[in-house]
A and B are shown apart, each in its own frame.
Chain A
Amino acid sequence: MKYIVKKAGTLIITLLIVSFLSFFAFSIIPGDAARSRLGTEATQEQVEALQKEMGLDKPVLVQYGNWLKNFITGDMGESYSYSMPVSDLLKDKIPITVALTLLSFFLILLISIPLGIFTAQHEGKWLDRALMVLNQVVMSVPGFFLGILITFVFGLVLKWFTPGAYVSISESFSGFLSYLIPPSVAIALPRCAMGVKMLRSSVISQMEKDYVRTALARGNSGHQVMYGHVLKNALLPVLTFWGMTIADIVANSIIIEQVFTIPGMGSLLITSISNRDYPVVLGIIMLIAALVIVINFIVDILYGKIDPRIRVEQ
Chain B
Amino acid sequence: MKKFRNLCILLLAVSLTAVLGGCQDGKDGTTESQDNSSSQETEAEPTMGGSIVVGIPQDLEDSLDPHKSVAAGTKEVLFNIYEGLVKPDEEGNYIDAVAESHSISEDGKVYTFKLRPGVKFHDGTEVTVDDVKYSIERCAGINGDGTPLVAAFSNVEKVETPDASTVEIFLKEADTEFLAYLIVAVVPQHCDDLDKTPVGTGPFKYVSRSPQENIVIEKFDEYWDTENQAYLDQVTFKVVGDSNAIVTGLKSGSIDMYPRINSTQAAQLADDQDLEIYEGGMNLIQALYLNNGEKPFDDEKVRQALCYAVNRQEVLDMMADGKGTIIGSSMFPAFEKYYMPELVDKYPQDIQKAKELLAEAGYPDGFDMTITVPNNYQQHIDTAQVLVEQLKQVGINAEIQLIEWDSWLSDVYGERNFQSTVVGIDAAYLSGRALLERFTSDSDKNFINYSNPEYDSLYEQVKKSTDESEQIDLYKQMETLLADDAANVYIQDMAAEVVLRKGYGGYVFYPLYVQDMAKIYKTAE
Contacts and interface: CB of A to CB of B under 8 A. Distances in A.
Nearest to B242: A258
A152 B213 CA distance: 22
Interface residues of B, number: 56
B418 to A, nearest CB: 12
Interface string B219-254: 000000000000000000001111011001101111
A170 to B, nearest CB: 9
Contacts of B26: 38-42
Given A39-B26, A41-B25, A41-B26, A163 B409 contact: no
A40 B19 contact: yes
Interface string B49-83: 00000000011011111000011000000000000
B255 interface: yes
A20 B114 CA distance: 57
Interface in B1-51: 17-20, 24-28
Given A36-B409, A46-B147, A274-B376, A82 B61 contact: yes
Interface stretch (B124-132, B380-388, B400-408): B400-408
Interface string A157-191: 00100111110100000000000000000000000
A30 B413 contact: no
A274 B404 contact: yes
Given A30-B411, A39-B70, A168 B213 contact: yes
Interface string A29-60: 01110011111111111110100000000000
A40 B245 contact: no
A248 interface: no
A39 B25 contact: yes
A156 B250 CA distance: 11
A259 interface: yes
Given A39-B71, A40-B25, A40-B27, A275 B245 contact: no
A156 B248 contact: yes
A155 B248 contact: yes
A92 B240 contact: no
Contacts of B241: 258, 261, 267, 271
B407 A31 contact: yes
Main secondary structure of the interface of A (DSSP, over half): helix
B364 interface: no
B105 interface: no
Contacts of A35: 406, 409-410, 414
5 contacts: A39-B71, A46-B151, A151-B245, A259-B245, A274-B406
Which 7 pairs of residues, A with B, have the shortest CB-CB distance?
A39-B26, A164-B249, A41-B27, A31-B406, A165-B254, A263-B213, A81-B61
Interface of B: 17-20, 24-28, 58-59, 61-65, 70-71, 145, 147-148, 151, 195-196, 210-214, 239-242, 244-245, 248-249, 251-255, 376, 404-407, 409-411, 413-414, 425, 428, 444-445
Given A156-B248, A268-B212, 19 more contacts: A31-B410, A32-B406, A32-B414, A35-B410, A39-B26, A41-B17, A41-B28, A42-B444, A47-B414, A81-B62, A83-B63, A83-B65, A93-B211, A164-B249, A165-B249, A165-B252, A165-B253, A263-B210, A263-B211
